[in-house]
Amino acid sequence: MGALLVFWALAWVAVPPIVRSQIERHASEALGREVIVAGVDFSPWTLEMTLHGLSIASQGAGKPQAQVERIYIDAELQSLWRLAPVIDAIEVDGPVLRVAQTSAGHYDVDDILARFSQPPEPEDPQAKPARFALYNMVLRGGSVDFDDRMVDKVHTLRQVRLDVPFLSNLSADREVKVTPRLAFELNGSAFDSAAQATPFADDREAEARVRIQDFDLAPFAGYIPHSVPLRLRAGVLDADLRVHFEQAAAPRVKIAGSLALRGAETTDAQGGRLLGFDALRVVLKDVQPLQHQVDIESVDWEGVRALLRRDASGAVVLPGMEASAPAEAPAVSAEAPWQFRLGRLSLRDGVFDWEDESLPGGRATWKADQLRMDATAIAWPLHQPLQFQASAQLSGGGVPQGGAQLALQGQTTGTRAQAAVSIRSLPVAMAGPYLAGVLKPSVAGTLDADIGLARDGEVLAAKVARLSLDKASLSCPSGTRCETLRHGGVAVAAKSALVELGRLEVADAWVLPSQRRLSLARVALQQPRLLVSRSGQGGWMFEEWLAVQQQAPQAASAGAGAPWSVQVESAEIAGADVAFRDAAAPRPVALNLSALQLRASGFAWRDGKMAPFPVHLQTRAGAGRAEAGQLTLDATLSMAPGLALQGKVRARNLPLHAFEPYVSQDLNVDIRRADGSFTGDVRYADAKAGPSVVVKGDLSLDDVRVLAADGEGSQAPRVAEQGEELLRWKSLGLRGVALGMEPGKPLTLDVQETALSDFFARIIVQESGRINLQDIRKEAAAAEPQEAREQATDPLAPVIRFGPVALANGAVHFTDHFIKPNYSANISDLGGRLSAFSSVATTPGGGPQMADLELRGRVQGTASLEVTGKLNPLAKPLALDIQGRMRDLELPPLSPYSIKYAGHGIERGKLSMDVAYKVQPDGQLTASNKLVLNQLAFSDPVEGAPASLPVRLATALLADRNGVIDVDLPVSGSLNDPQFRLGAVILKVIGNLIMKAVTAPFSLLAGVFGGGDEQGAVAFAAGSSALDDGARQQLDKMAQALVERPALRVTVVGWAQPQAEQEAWKRLRLRDLAMEQKRRAAVRDGGNAAEVTPVSDAEYPALLKEVYRRADIKKPRNLVGIAKDLPQHEMEALLLQSIAVPGNSMQELALARGVAVRDYLASRQVPLERLFVGASKLTNDGAQGSGPKAELTLAAR
C-alpha cells in the first residue's frame, strides 16, 4: 500500500510537467505554430487529467489562432490492460477559433492546412488498427470568429454545444450520461437539435435527428481553401438524417435518412468545368461506421455533367482531385473489413467529357451523353449477383454527336461475371488521337459489334457474336505527300486514301485466354483497297505510316506459355483491289490486282502446325494500258511447318512483263510485253532439303515484245540499237507441260506439243562477228562453254523432252555489221515443224533422239526458202543433218558483201542454193553448198574497196549461155577445232574459185565441163601451123565451153622459135614442094588440083625424086654429065640445103598458128566477133612450155 501511495505521489508530481512539455513540443512541431498549455492537473488515483489555458499562436502578433479554457479527460483503469484508451468523459469548455480570409481562397491557417495535406508515412501493414472507447463527450461554450476581409465582414458562431454519447470500437460497458445534441448561434440565429433517449431500457439508446432544407451552399463557396482543387459554384443541400446511439455490449452508432444535393456546379481553380449535376439523392438505410458497415438503400443521380481529364504527364485528374500518379495498392489491414451494400444505383441523363492531353499525336476529346446506368444488389463482398445495365451516346474526335450508341448489361458475383456489350455506329476516328502516336495516317470507319464477356474465377472468355467495320480507311494527313491509292491506279478510291475497306465482318468469334485459343466462325472483307509500295531506298509503305520506329522483337522468355491455337471456319475477301508499286527495283514495277476474291475454310493452327485447308483465289492482274489478265486458283494450302500447296491453276494473259525489272540486271533487253497463261495442276512442298515442285498443264506465252535495252554504263555488248524491236511473237503455246523438281534429283521437263506463231526476230551479226541473240543474257558467252561441259558431266543435269514443235507465219530481219557497208535481209512467211526430241538417249548407250525438221519461208519477199533434215537442239554435243534450199534470191542487196570481198557491187542477179550440213557426235562436219547464180552482173570496181577481184571474168567463165552459174562448194572439218569456222571456210572456197579465174581460167573452164587440168595453149608440130588430132580435140572442148558462155571473148597468139624450128620449117617446105608436084601431075592428067589429097608416105619418095629432078640446084653427075640417081636421104639433104629461110618466115609461122586456131574455133560455132588473133611472138627460149604453140587468153566481153 505504501508503494502505491509513493507511485501516486510521484505521478501526481511528475506527470503534469511532462505532459505539458510534450504537448507543447509535439503540437508546435506538428502545427508550425507556438502551442502553450497554461497548466495540467492529474489525479493518478482516479486517472483524471485537466488541461488549462491551451492556446495556438496566430501568424502575426494578434490574438491566438485558437484557445481552450479547459479540457477534462476521465480515463478508466481498463485502458491499462486493454492497451487502448477507454474514456468515461471528455469535456471541452470555452473553445475559441479565429479564422480570417486574407485573399480569395487563402486563409491565415493555410500553413497549418498545408502541413496536414502532406501524405502520411506508410503504416506497418502488420499493425493492428487503433482501438478506442470514448464516452460522454461534451463541448460547451464554443465560439468561432470568421473574418472575411475580402468583403469586410465577420461571421460569428456562438454558444456552440455538442454532446456525443459515445464513439467506440471496443466493448467497454461504460455508463452513458449525455444525450446527443448540437446547438449553436450563427450570426445571432439559434439552432438546437432534438434528441430522444430511453435511459431506463436494458439497452440504453439515444437518437438525434438533423433536418436541412433548401440550404444554399453558393454563399459559402468562396470560403473553400485555395488548396482544395475543387470550387463550388452552386448547390442546394437537403438533409434528413437520424443518428442512433445504442449502448450495449458492443456500442453502435447508426445513421439513416436521406441526403440530397440539387443544382450542383463545381469548377477547378481556374474556373474550368469539373462536375455538375441536377440532383443527387442518397437514401441511407443503415450506416454503422464503428462496425464498418454501410447499407445504402438507393442512389439516384440525375443530369450528371463530369469532366475527366488526363494531363500531359499522364496523370488522371478526377473531379475534385489533383493530378496524381496511380496509387499503390493499400496494404492489407488486420482491421475488420468494411461491408458495403447499395440496393439500387440509378444514373440518368449523364454527360461525361474525357480530355486527354498526354498523347503525342494531339489532344483527345470524347463525350458520352444521354448516359443511363442502373445497378442493383451492389455489395461488398458480393453474396448475390449484381445486376447492371448502361447505355450512352458517344462522340468526339471530330465526329458529330449522337452517332454512336453504346449499351452494356450483365451481372457479376465475387467469382463470376457476365456482360453483354452492344456498339452501334461507333466512329473509329475517335481513336485517332490515340493511334496518332504510332500511326501517321488518319483513320475512319464505323464499328458495330455485339460482344459477350464472361469470367469464372481465373477463367476469362469473350465472344464476338457480330462485329462489322464499315467504310474504313487510312488517309494521308493534310499537308503531307503520300503514295495514295489513286497514285497506284485505283481511280475509284478517295483522293487522299491509302487503304480503304468497304466492310469487315466477324461472326461467332471466341477468345479463350486460359486455353490460349481463338476461334472464328466467319471473317469477311468486302471491297478492300490497298496500295503496297516500296520506295527507292527499300522502305515499305507501312514503315512510313508508323510514327515511331519499330523495335526488334524480343526473344520469347523461357517461361512463355504454350502457343495459341487459331481456328477459322470460313474466311473471305471479296472485290479487293491491290496496287503494287516497287521503286527499289532497277526500274519501277507496277502491278494492279482487281476484283480479287479469296475464300478459305477449315483453317486451324495448333501446336505450331497447320492442317491443310481449301483455298479459292480469283483475281484480275493488269500492268499498263493492256487488258488485265485473269488468275484462278483452287488449291489445298498449308503453311506450317513448311509451305505446301496443291491445286488447280487457271491463268490467262497474266502480265509477266511487269516483273521484268527484277531480272533486267541480268538481261541486255527490255521486255515490254509478255502475257502468260496456264491451265493445269500445281504442287509445291517446302522441306529442309529444298522445295519440291510438280507442274502439269498447258502453258502459253503470248503477245511477247522484246526491245533492245540501253547498254549505257555496261560492259556488255548491245544487242541492237536502243529501243529497237528484237523479238516478237503472237503466241507460244506449250501443251502437256510436265515439270518436276525434287531435292537430289534431276529436274525433268516434258512438253507434248509446242506451237509458235506470228513471230519476229531481229538477228544482227555484230562488228566482232558475234550474233546479237547470244548476248541477250549478260555474260552469256563466257558461261556457255563451261556450262556445256558441266551439263555433259553433271548427273543432275535436267532431263528435257519436247514433242512436236510447229512454227507459223514467222519473220526474221537480218543485218550484218561485220562487213562494211552493212547488209540487211528479211525472211518472211517462215513456218514449219520440228518433231519430238529429248536431252537423253532413247536407248542405253545410244545418242539423243533426232528430230525431223521442216522449215519454209521467203527471203526478201521473193526467194523461197526450205530447210529439212534432222537435229536435236538439246544434244550435247551437237549433232545434226540438215538440207536447205533457196530459190531466186535477188542479189543486189548483197552488194555490201561483194564490195567487201571482191571490190565490185552487184547490179543484177538471182541466187539459188542447195546446202547440206551434217555434224557427227564427234564434231566432224561435212557440208555441201551448191550455188546457182542467174544473170549475175557486177558493177565497175568500187574505189577504196578492201579487195578487187576479177569477178566479171569469173562470172563469164562460170555462167552458161543462159547466164546461169552452177557451183558446188564442198566443206569438211571439225567443230571441235577452235580455229574452224564454217562461214570462213565457205568464203575461202569462193575466193579461191575467183582467183582461179585469174591464174588458170582454162582449167576452171575445163573443170566446169568435167575435163582435166587444161592449159590455155594449143601445141603445134615444129615448123608447122597445122592442127593435129589432139589439138582439134582440145579446141572442140574449148569451142563447146565458149558457145555456152557467150560473155567470154578469146584472143589467140601464135608463138614460134626461129632457131629451133628452121630445120623443121625446111622439111615442111620440102613436103609442100612434093604436094605441089602431085597437084601438077593431077592437072596434067586432067584432075582437079583442089581435090588432091595430102602426100602419103608411100607417095613421098616418087614425088621427092620428081622435085629433085626439077630443082635447079647443083647435082652430082656421071661421066656424061647427067644427074645421078641418088638415095632418098641424099636427095632430101641436097634439097633442104637449097631451101632458103626468109627473114619473116617465123613470124608468119606464128601468125599462121593463131589463125589456124581462130579458124578452127570459128568452124565450131564460135562467133568470129568473139575471136581475136593477137600479135605473134617469137622466142629462142628453150624452157619447158615455150615450144611451138598458140596461146589463148579469155576475157569478159
Comparing 281-285, 303-307, 484-488, the range with the smallest average pLDDT is: 484-488
Question: Within 13 Å of residue 727, how many CA atoms lie on the same side as its CB?
Answer: 20
Asked if 1054 and 1027 count as a contact pair (C-beta separation under 8 A), the reply is no
Range 31-56 average pLDDT: 87
User: How confident is residue 1001, by pLDDT bands cut at 50, 70 and 90?
Assistant: low
pTM of the predicted protein model = 0.67
Task: Count the Cβ atoms, other than its own, within 10 Å of residue 922.
Answer: 10
pLDDT, greater one: 530 or 1194: 530
Comparing 94-98, 302-306, 839-843, 844-848, the range with the smallest average pLDDT is: 844-848
Task: Count the Cβ atoms, other than its own, within 10 Å of residue 455.
Answer: 16
Instruction: Report if residue 945 sits inside a domain.
Output: yes
Q: Which pLDDT does position 997 carry in this prediction? A: 52
Are residues 1039 and 1179 located together in one domain of the fold? Answer: yes
Does residue 663 register a pLDDT over 50? Answer: yes
Instruction: Report if residue 488 sits inside a domain.
Output: yes
Residue with cell 537423253: 840
Mind listing the pLDDT tens digit for each residue in 595-608?
999 999 988 888 87
Are residues 1110 and 1080 located together in one domain of the fold? Answer: yes
Range 16-30 average pLDDT: 87
Residue with cell 479540457: 71
Q: Whole-angstrom Cα distance, residue 175 to residue 164?
A: 13
Mind listing the pLDDT tens digit for each residue in 1135-1145?
777 787 787 88
Are residues 909 and 1047 located together in one domain of the fold? Answer: no
Tell me the torsion sign for CA atoms 1076, 1082, 1088, 1092: negative
User: How confident is residue 986, by pLDDT bands cut at 50, 70 and 90?
Assistant: very low
Asked if 479 and 583 count as a contact pair (C-beta separation under 8 A), the reply is no
Are residues 1134 and 1180 located together in one domain of the fold? Answer: yes
Are residues 1110 and 1018 located together in one domain of the fold? Answer: yes
Q: Which pLDDT does position 78 carry in this prediction? A: 73
Q: Between β-strands 924-941 and 964-974, what pairing exists: parallel, antiparallel or unpaired?
A: antiparallel
DSSP-assigned letters across all residues of 998-1062: HH-HHHHHHHHTT-----SEEE--TT-----HHHHHHHHHHHHHHHH-TTEEEEEEEEE-HHHHH
User: How confident is residue 1110, by pLDDT bands cut at 50, 70 and 90?
Assistant: confident
Are residues 532 and 639 located together in one domain of the fold? Answer: yes
Q: Which pLDDT does position 74 carry in this prediction? A: 85
How is residue 933 written as a grid cell?
A: 547464180
pLDDT, greater one: 555 or 802: 802
Does residue 198 register a pLDDT over 50? Answer: no
User: How confident is residue 813, by pLDDT bands cut at 50, 70 and 90?
Assistant: confident
User: How confident is residue 812, by pLDDT bands cut at 50, 70 and 90?
Assistant: confident
Asked if 451 and 421 count as a contact pair (C-beta separation under 8 A), the reply is yes
Task: State the DSSP code for 428.
Answer: G
Q: Whole-angstrom Cα distance, residue 621 to residue 599?
A: 18
Q: Which range has highest mean pLDDT (252-261, 986-995, 1104-1113)?
A: 252-261
Question: Which of 650, 671, 704 is the last residue before a domain boundary?
Answer: 650
Are residues 1044 and 1180 located together in one domain of the fold? Answer: yes
Asked if 253 and 292 count as a contact pair (C-beta separation under 8 A), the reply is no
Mind listing the pLDDT tens digit for each residue in 307-349?
888 888 878 776 655 554 444 545 545 556 778 888 899 999 9
Asked if 351 and 376 count as a contact pair (C-beta separation under 8 A), the reply is no
Q: Which pLDDT does position 741 carry in this prediction? A: 92
Percent of the chain with pLDDT over 70: 81
From the centroid of its chain, how far is CA 1158?
88
Does residue 1012 register a pLDDT over 50? Answer: no
Q: Which pLDDT does position 123 carry in this prediction? A: 57
DSSP-assigned letters across all residues of 195-209: EEEETTSSSEEEEEE
60 to each of 63, 65, 145, 280, how far by Cα in Å? 8, 9, 17, 43
Q: Which pLDDT does position 789 carry in this prediction? A: 47
Range 443-455 average pLDDT: 92
Instruction: Report if residue 938 sits inside a domain.
Output: yes
Q: Which pLDDT does position 1059 carry in this prediction? A: 80
Tell me the torsion sign for CA atoms 775, 778, 783, 787: negative
DSSP-assigned letters across all residues of 670-690: EEEEEEEEEEEEEEEE--TT-
Q: Whole-angstrom Cα distance, residue 1071 to residue 1065?
A: 10
Range 816-831 average pLDDT: 73
Asked if 930 and 912 count as a contact pair (C-beta separation under 8 A), the reply is no
Residue with cell 478508466: 76
Does residue 932 register a pLDDT over 90? Answer: no
835 to each of 701, 753, 828, how far by Cα in Å? 21, 9, 22
Q: Whole-angstrom Cα distance, residue 699 to residue 1138?
A: 105
User: How confident is residue 981, by pLDDT bands cut at 50, 70 and 90?
Assistant: very low
Asked if 918 and 970 count as a contact pair (C-beta separation under 8 A), the reply is no
Amino acid letter for position 362: G
Q: Which pLDDT does position 786 carry in this prediction? A: 47
Are residues 1034 and 1090 located together in one domain of the fold? Answer: yes
Are residues 537 and 645 located together in one domain of the fold? Answer: yes
Q: Whole-angstrom Cα distance, residue 581 to residue 532?
A: 6
Amino acid letter for position 583: A
Q: Which pLDDT does position 333 carry in this prediction? A: 53
Range of the structural domain that residue 514 is part of: 439-545+563-650
Question: Within 13 Å of residue 1194, how many CA atoms lie on the same side as its CB?
Answer: 30
Does residue 225 register a pLDDT over 80? Answer: no
Range 1140-1156 average pLDDT: 84
Nearest to 671 by CA among 679, 681, 653, 659: 659
Q: Which pLDDT does position 135 carry in this prediction? A: 77
Instruction: Report if residue 805 sits inside a domain.
Output: no
Does residue 1007 register a pLDDT over 70? Answer: no
Mind listing the pLDDT tens digit for each residue in 863-881?
888 889 888 877 777 777 8
Helix (H) or strand (E) holding 304: none
Task: Count the Cβ atoms, other than its own, within 10 Å of residue 823.
Answer: 20
Q: Which pLDDT does position 199 carry in this prediction? A: 41
Question: Which of 631, 650, 669 is the last residue before a domain boundary?
Answer: 650
pLDDT, greater one: 403 or 1001: 403
Asked if 506 and 466 count as a contact pair (C-beta separation under 8 A), the reply is yes
User: How confident is residue 1013, by pLDDT bands cut at 50, 70 and 90?
Assistant: very low
Average pLDDT for the chain:
80
User: How confident is residue 129, by pLDDT bands cut at 50, 70 and 90?
Assistant: low
DSSP-assigned letters across all residues of 57-102: --SSSSS-SEEEEEEEEEE-THHHHHTS-EEEEEEEES-EEEEEEE
Does residue 772 register a pLDDT over 70? Answer: yes
Are residues 485 and 616 located together in one domain of the fold? Answer: yes
Range 639-661 average pLDDT: 90
Q: Which pLDDT does position 610 carry in this prediction? A: 83
Does residue 664 register a pLDDT over 50? Answer: yes
Nearest to 515 by CA among 457, 562, 558: 562
Task: Count the Cβ atoms, other than its own, within 10 Å of residue 719.
Answer: 26
Range 107-124 average pLDDT: 71
Q: Which pLDDT does position 84 carry in this prediction? A: 74
Mind listing the pLDDT tens digit for each residue in 535-576?
888 888 888 888 765 554 555 554 456 788 899 999 999 999
Nearest to 1134 by CA among 1143, 1121, 1124: 1124
Instruction: Report if residue 702 sits inside a domain.
Output: no
Instruction: Report if residue 274 sits inside a domain.
Output: no
Report the number of distinct structural domains present in the chain: 3
Task: Count the Cβ atoms, other than its own, within 10 Å of residue 394.
Answer: 26
How is residue 42 written as a grid cell?
A: 492529474
Range 783-804 average pLDDT: 66
Question: Which of 629, 650, 671 is the last residue before a domain boundary?
Answer: 650
Task: State the DSSP code for 1082.
Answer: H
User: How confident is residue 1102, by pLDDT bands cut at 50, 70 and 90?
Assistant: confident
Q: Which pLDDT does position 979 carry in this prediction? A: 44
Asked if 864 and 887 count as a contact pair (C-beta separation under 8 A), the reply is yes
Does residue 999 register a pLDDT over 70? Answer: no
Task: Count the Cβ atoms, other than its own, within 10 Å of residue 316.
Answer: 15
Asked if 702 and 651 count as a contact pair (C-beta separation under 8 A), the reply is no
Asked if 598 and 613 count as a contact pair (C-beta separation under 8 A), the reply is no
From the centroid of its chain, how far is CA 692?
23
User: How confident is residue 682, by pLDDT bands cut at 50, 70 and 90?
Assistant: very high
Q: Which pLDDT does position 668 carry in this prediction? A: 81
Decide: helix, strand or coil at residue 736.
strand
DSSP-assigned letters across all residues of 465-522: EEEEEEEEEEEPPTT-----TTTTT-TTS-TTEEEEEEEEEEEEEEEETTTTEEEEEE
Q: Whole-angstrom Cα distance, residue 90 to residue 76?
A: 12
Are residues 986 and 1079 located together in one domain of the fold? Answer: no
Helix (H) or strand (E) holding 311: none
Q: Residues near 131 by Cβ (< 8 Å), separated by ≥ 6? A: 82, 84, 169, 170
Does residue 63 register a pLDDT over 70? Answer: yes
Are residues 1049 and 943 located together in one domain of the fold? Answer: no
How is residue 939 written as a grid cell?
A: 558493177
Comparing 603-617, 978-992, 1064-1078, the range with the smallest average pLDDT is: 978-992
Instruction: Report if residue 860 sits inside a domain.
Output: no
Range 216-229 average pLDDT: 73
Instruction: Report if residue 926 sits inside a domain.
Output: yes
